[in-house]
Chain A
Amino acid sequence: MKTKLRPVIGLEVHIEQNTKTKMFCGCPAIHYAVPANTHTCPVCLGLPGALPKANKLAVENILKLGLALGCKINLYSKFDRKHYFYPDLPKGYQITQYEAPFCSAGRWEAPDSPSVNITRIHLEEDTGKLIHKTVGGQKLSLVDFNRSGVPLIELVTGPDFETSEQVTAFLKEIRKIVRHLGISTADMDKGSMRLEANVSVSTTKKLPDYKVELKNINSFKFLAKAVDSEIARQTKLIHEGKRIAQETRGFDEAAGGTLSQRTKEEAKDYRYFPEPDLPPIRLSQEYVTGLKTNLPKSPSETIHELASWGVSWQAATIIVKDRARLNYLYDVRSIDNSVDLKSIANLIVNKNVDKKYKDPNDLLASIVKSAGNLSLEAKQMTKFINEVLIENPKAAEDFRLGKTNVVGFLLGKFMQKSAGRGDPKEVSKRFFDRLK
């Protein structure tokens, strides 16, 4: 009997911000290629009595990301302490957000991928960096606290992916958005974007009761490989009728697969509690709306916007990739917002009309001409015809005297009123009918 197996993948993405200073102190946030332990102070070294103070820009940045991904912005937010002992964490806890993250319940949509729920996006401080070394037969860990306290964004998705291709497509989009917003360099090789995937394989429609966490992966390629090999490993275990342990695994390129790593504390073991040294944050709706208004639109938002104007999803996806074409379409709409943008978008994609008519006005004129734009309502047409006849009594007189070509003159007057709309043939016929 064959069971239908379905991989279930969720992501955790860490994005290090490119602010000038750290999250809770004024030390420089830059730590790449900086001499070890030269960017520290009592706050980021966790010295007794030191008090943190939140970096406003870092808060603003995470709100921008949340808005770009359609998240709900929590107007009341706070920081919490997450406790664990590890040498990269000088205080014995990490300041992060637990109950009240800045952003939650977002959604990312793409045409050829299932939509992805953004569970939450929260702000925390990065940890120090460990270097493992053996000196004189003794295993040592060296700690560099330059990275300690650098503003770090954690983005958590729902278990909404089924393939490594979907995962990679989503992550590339996130990287694009983050760079577009200018809040992080998102360089994977420098550790400013770090990826984790929770992978399980379901034998039913429901979510499995376990997940394997893939950690410490520093490229899209390795993540895809790790996810694929983990799905294969779990599928094999399921076929063998074995249970899969909940654990953390890393990707080992040499072994071409994932290997078990240190077991993790459970959430309750982190003994989260509200950070007493940082007052809560209350945002006004006006402030958030202001941020949203000034947000550079993300590619997916732009696609949604174009779709809402009737442009097909397919055409929108193509046009969004090309800034010049996108601006062209915006120009067309700003000249005439009643125009059929769906057809125009298709003409841009299929016939390169944006190249043929450099000026969007020329494109519109040619469309009006060729289609004889019939969009003028009959009632309006009658109104304009009446007006033209009343304003030009001499023309009517001329017509009766046999000068039928005066209809051309009346048509011109008509077009001035209708701003070029109305099928010229029909309008002429109506003038004839009225005058004869």
Chain B
Amino acid sequence: MAKLTKSDVLHVAKLSKLDLTSPEVEKFQSQLSEVLNYMDELNTLDTDRVLPTSQSTGLENVFRGDDHTNDCLARDIATTNASRSDSSYFVTKGVLKK
């Protein structure tokens, strides 16, 4: 049984700025549900005595001084991978509706 509803999928699609066709919604409904089912499987492990972590290095307090600036990318290099740019800016579809 699918864990995610159609509206869950549409909600995630909206957050990802994706337009999905209804066959795609069905396809992702089952695929994303499978991912969650796998999480359920992981959840059966006993982790009571394991501390949660988001780090694997054990490092703390890694800082950079503010005393000098680094060289920046040349503008044409910075924009070189953009799907669209003009001489100064990265260019995207307008985000304002009105």
B-contacting residues of A (Cβ < 8 Å)?
19-21, 25-28, 35-42, 45, 47, 53-59, 78, 83-87, 130-134, 138-145, 262, 265, 269, 273-276, 278-282
Cβ-closest chain A residue relative to B87: A36
Are the C-beta atoms of B94 and A37 separated by less than 8 Å? no
Chain B residues with CB under 8 A of A134:
94
Cβ-defined contact, A279 with B62, below 8 A = yes
Q: With A and B bound together, what is the CA distance between A133 and B84 in angstroms?
A: 15
Contact status of A28 and B69, CB under 8 A, knowing A85-B15, A141-B93: yes
Name the one of B63, B67, B95 contacting A54, with C-beta atoms under 8 angstroms: B63
B63 in contact with A25 (CB, 8 Å):
no
Stretch from B24-32, B34-42, B72-80 at the A interface: B72-80
- CB B48 to nearest CB in A, in angstroms, measures 21
**Are B64 and A54 in contact, CB atoms less than 8 angstroms apart?**
yes
Cα of A275 to Cα of B57 in the assembled complex, Å: 13
B96's partner among A132, A142, A145 (CB-CB below 8 A) is A132
Nearest residue (CB) in A for B82 is: A143
The B16-68 residues at the A interface (CB cut-off 8 A) are 16-17, 54-55, 57, 59-68
B7 within 8 A of A: no
Q: Given A41, A78, A273, which contacts B72 in the complex, CB threshold below 8 Å?
A: A41
Please, which residue of chain A has its CB at the minimum distance from the CB of B76? A37
A268 to chain B, nearest CB (A): 10
A19 to B63, CA, bound (A): 14
CB-based A-B contact count at 8 angstroms: 128
Instruction: Count chain A CB atoms within 10 A of each CB in B15, B88, B89, B93 and give the residue with the most.
Output: B89
Are B92 and A87 in contact, with the CB atoms below 8 A? yes
Instruction: Give the CA-CA distance A407 to B79 in the complex, in Å.
Output: 95
User: Contacts A37-B88, A86-B95, A280-B60: A274 and B54 contacting too (C-beta < 8 A)?
Assistant: yes
A-B pairs with beta carbons under 8 Å apart, 18 shown: A26-B68, A37-B90, A38-B75, A40-B73, A54-B64, A56-B65, A56-B66, A57-B66, A87-B90, A130-B95, A134-B94, A139-B94, A141-B95, A143-B90, A143-B92, A145-B90, A274-B54, A275-B54
User: Taking the complex as formed, is B91 at the interface, i.e. its CB lies under 8 A from any CB of chain A?
Assistant: yes
In the bound complex, residues from chain A placing their C-beta under 8 Å from that of B15 are 83-85, 265, 269
Q: How far is the CB of B58 from chain A (nearest CB, A)?
A: 8
Chain B nearest CB from A167 CB (Å) reads: 28
Query: Would you give the shortest CB distance from A85 to chain B, in whole angstroms?
Result: 5
Instruction: Return the contact of A144 from the options B65, B73, B89 (Cβ within 8 A).
Output: B89
Q: Chain B residues with Cβ under 8 A from A130's Cβ?
A: 95
The answer to whether B94 and A132 have CB atoms under 8 Å apart is yes
Residues of A close to B72: CB separation below 8 A = 27-28, 38-41
Nearest opposing residue in chain B for A274, CB measure: B54
B70's partner among A26, A84, A86, A138 (CB-CB below 8 A) is A26
Is A55's CB under 8 angstroms from B66's CB?
A: yes
Distance to closest chain B CB from A379 (angstroms): 57
